[in-house]
Amino acid sequence: MPVREIISAATIARRVTELGAEIDARLPPGPLTVVGVLRGAFMFMADLVRAIPREVTCDFLGVRSYGDATVSSGVVEITSDLGAPIAGRRVLLVEDIVDTGLTLKYLVDLLLARGPIGVHTCALMAKPSYQASPAGPALDFVGFDAPDAFVVGYGMDAAQLHRNLPYVAALDSD
Protein backbone atom coordinates (compact mmCIF):
# COMPACT_ATOMS: atom_id res chain seq x y z
CA MET A 1 0.00 0.00 0.00
CA PRO A 2 1.23 3.52 -0.72
CA VAL A 3 2.08 5.93 2.08
CA ARG A 4 1.62 9.70 2.38
CA GLU A 5 4.00 11.75 4.57
CA ILE A 6 2.14 13.64 7.30
CA ILE A 7 4.90 14.63 9.76
CA SER A 8 8.39 15.35 8.43
CA ALA A 9 11.60 14.05 10.00
CA ALA A 10 12.63 17.64 10.85
CA THR A 11 9.31 18.32 12.60
CA ILE A 12 9.65 15.09 14.60
CA ALA A 13 13.21 15.99 15.63
CA ARG A 14 12.13 19.43 16.87
CA ARG A 15 9.20 18.03 18.84
CA VAL A 16 11.23 15.23 20.42
CA THR A 17 13.78 17.81 21.64
CA GLU A 18 10.91 19.84 23.13
CA LEU A 19 9.45 16.73 24.79
CA GLY A 20 12.81 15.92 26.39
CA ALA A 21 12.94 19.42 27.91
CA GLU A 22 9.28 19.20 29.05
CA ILE A 23 9.87 15.83 30.71
CA ASP A 24 12.95 17.11 32.52
CA ALA A 25 11.15 20.26 33.67
CA ARG A 26 7.91 18.62 34.83
CA LEU A 27 9.16 15.44 36.52
CA PRO A 28 10.86 15.58 39.91
CA PRO A 29 14.67 15.62 39.77
CA GLY A 30 16.54 12.35 39.86
CA PRO A 31 17.12 9.26 37.77
CA LEU A 32 14.50 8.04 35.34
CA THR A 33 13.83 4.56 33.98
CA VAL A 34 12.45 4.88 30.47
CA VAL A 35 10.43 1.85 29.38
CA GLY A 36 9.78 1.58 25.67
CA VAL A 37 6.94 -0.45 24.23
CA LEU A 38 8.33 -2.69 21.49
CA ARG A 39 8.48 -2.55 18.66
CA GLY A 40 6.87 0.65 17.51
CA ALA A 41 8.40 3.02 20.08
CA PHE A 42 12.06 2.07 19.66
CA MET A 43 13.06 4.91 17.31
CA PHE A 44 11.10 7.52 19.24
CA MET A 45 12.52 6.27 22.55
CA ALA A 46 16.10 6.32 21.25
CA ASP A 47 15.76 9.96 20.22
CA LEU A 48 13.79 10.89 23.35
CA VAL A 49 16.30 9.54 25.88
CA ARG A 50 19.06 11.56 24.17
CA ALA A 51 16.89 14.66 24.66
CA ILE A 52 16.36 14.16 28.43
CA PRO A 53 19.23 15.86 30.30
CA ARG A 54 19.39 13.61 33.37
CA GLU A 55 20.44 10.12 34.41
CA VAL A 56 18.39 7.67 32.36
CA THR A 57 18.24 3.89 32.25
CA CYS A 58 16.35 2.08 29.51
CA ASP A 59 14.24 -1.05 29.45
CA PHE A 60 11.61 -2.51 27.15
CA LEU A 61 8.29 -4.32 27.21
CA GLY A 62 7.25 -6.36 24.20
CA VAL A 63 3.52 -6.05 23.60
CA ARG A 64 1.18 -7.30 20.91
CA SER A 65 -2.37 -6.11 20.29
CA TYR A 66 -2.44 -5.61 16.50
CA GLY A 67 -0.55 -8.59 15.04
CA ASP A 68 -0.42 -7.92 11.31
CA ALA A 69 -3.82 -6.18 11.28
CA THR A 70 -4.52 -2.44 11.12
CA VAL A 71 -7.13 -2.65 13.89
CA SER A 72 -6.40 -3.60 17.51
CA SER A 73 -7.54 -7.06 18.53
CA GLY A 74 -8.61 -5.67 21.91
CA VAL A 75 -6.35 -8.20 23.66
CA VAL A 76 -3.00 -7.11 25.12
CA GLU A 77 -0.31 -9.78 25.17
CA ILE A 78 3.11 -9.32 26.82
CA THR A 79 5.69 -10.89 24.52
CA SER A 80 8.80 -9.72 26.43
CA ASP A 81 9.01 -8.49 30.01
CA LEU A 82 11.29 -5.94 31.67
CA GLY A 83 14.90 -6.95 32.21
CA ALA A 84 15.27 -5.27 35.62
CA PRO A 85 13.05 -4.45 38.63
CA ILE A 86 11.47 -0.99 38.76
CA ALA A 87 10.58 -0.93 42.47
CA GLY A 88 11.61 2.42 43.94
CA ARG A 89 12.30 3.92 40.50
CA ARG A 90 10.56 6.75 38.63
CA VAL A 91 9.32 5.29 35.32
CA LEU A 92 8.47 6.93 32.01
CA LEU A 93 6.45 4.58 29.79
CA VAL A 94 7.02 5.44 26.11
CA GLU A 95 4.48 4.46 23.44
CA ASP A 96 4.52 5.13 19.72
CA ILE A 97 0.81 5.82 19.31
CA VAL A 98 -2.19 5.58 21.62
CA ASP A 99 -5.38 4.60 19.87
CA THR A 100 -8.02 3.23 22.26
CA GLY A 101 -5.96 3.52 25.47
CA LEU A 102 -6.47 -0.19 26.25
CA THR A 103 -2.77 -1.08 25.98
CA LEU A 104 -1.71 2.06 27.87
CA LYS A 105 -4.08 1.32 30.77
CA TYR A 106 -2.97 -2.31 30.93
CA LEU A 107 0.72 -1.37 30.96
CA VAL A 108 0.38 1.44 33.52
CA ASP A 109 -1.49 -0.94 35.86
CA LEU A 110 1.14 -3.65 35.28
CA LEU A 111 4.00 -1.26 36.06
CA LEU A 112 2.30 0.29 39.11
CA ALA A 113 1.90 -3.18 40.63
CA ARG A 114 5.71 -3.48 40.63
CA GLY A 115 6.25 -0.70 43.17
CA PRO A 116 7.82 2.23 41.31
CA ILE A 117 7.90 5.75 42.81
CA GLY A 118 5.66 6.78 39.94
CA VAL A 119 4.71 5.92 36.37
CA HIS A 120 4.47 8.71 33.81
CA THR A 121 3.40 8.29 30.22
CA CYS A 122 4.63 9.66 26.91
CA ALA A 123 3.42 8.93 23.39
CA LEU A 124 4.67 10.19 20.08
CA MET A 125 1.05 10.40 18.90
CA ALA A 126 -2.48 10.14 20.31
CA LYS A 127 -5.55 9.48 18.18
CA PRO A 128 -8.80 11.45 18.48
CA SER A 129 -10.58 8.28 19.67
CA TYR A 130 -8.29 8.17 22.73
CA GLN A 131 -8.46 11.90 23.41
CA ALA A 132 -12.25 11.67 23.53
CA SER A 133 -12.25 8.65 25.86
CA PRO A 134 -12.29 9.16 29.64
CA ALA A 135 -11.57 5.43 30.20
CA GLY A 136 -7.78 5.30 30.03
CA PRO A 137 -5.08 6.98 32.06
CA ALA A 138 -4.13 10.49 31.03
CA LEU A 139 -1.06 10.86 28.87
CA ASP A 140 1.49 13.09 30.59
CA PHE A 141 3.37 13.96 27.40
CA VAL A 142 2.20 13.79 23.77
CA GLY A 143 4.20 14.70 20.71
CA PHE A 144 1.44 15.05 18.12
CA ASP A 145 -2.26 14.58 17.56
CA ALA A 146 -2.65 11.60 15.25
CA PRO A 147 -4.98 11.66 12.28
CA ASP A 148 -7.84 9.19 12.24
CA ALA A 149 -5.85 6.95 9.88
CA PHE A 150 -3.40 4.08 10.20
CA VAL A 151 0.08 5.60 10.51
CA VAL A 152 3.50 4.13 9.80
CA GLY A 153 7.12 5.22 9.82
CA TYR A 154 9.53 6.38 12.53
CA GLY A 155 9.34 2.88 14.04
CA MET A 156 5.64 2.25 13.48
CA ASP A 157 4.65 -0.47 11.04
CA ALA A 158 1.99 -2.17 8.99
CA ALA A 159 2.66 -5.93 9.01
CA GLN A 160 6.31 -5.17 9.96
CA LEU A 161 6.81 -2.82 6.96
CA HIS A 162 7.60 0.93 6.83
CA ARG A 163 9.35 1.14 10.26
CA ASN A 164 12.44 2.52 8.52
CA LEU A 165 10.77 5.68 7.19
CA PRO A 166 12.34 8.74 8.88
CA TYR A 167 8.94 10.49 8.92
CA VAL A 168 5.37 9.56 9.91
CA ALA A 169 3.06 8.65 7.06
CA ALA A 170 -0.56 7.68 6.62
CA LEU A 171 -1.12 4.30 5.04
CA ASP A 172 -3.36 4.89 2.04
CA SER A 173 -5.85 2.15 1.26
CA ASP A 174 -5.76 2.51 -2.53
In the chain, the amino acid numbered 86 is I
Q: Which of 117, 124, 155, 118 has the alpha carbon at shortest distance from 141?
A: 124
Q: In 3-state terms, what secondary structure has residue 36?
A: strand
Burial call 3-29: b when 16+ CB within 10 Å, e when fewer: beebbeeeebeebbeebbeebeeebee
Residues designated as active site: 99
How many Å separate Cα 166 from the centre of its chain? Answer: 16
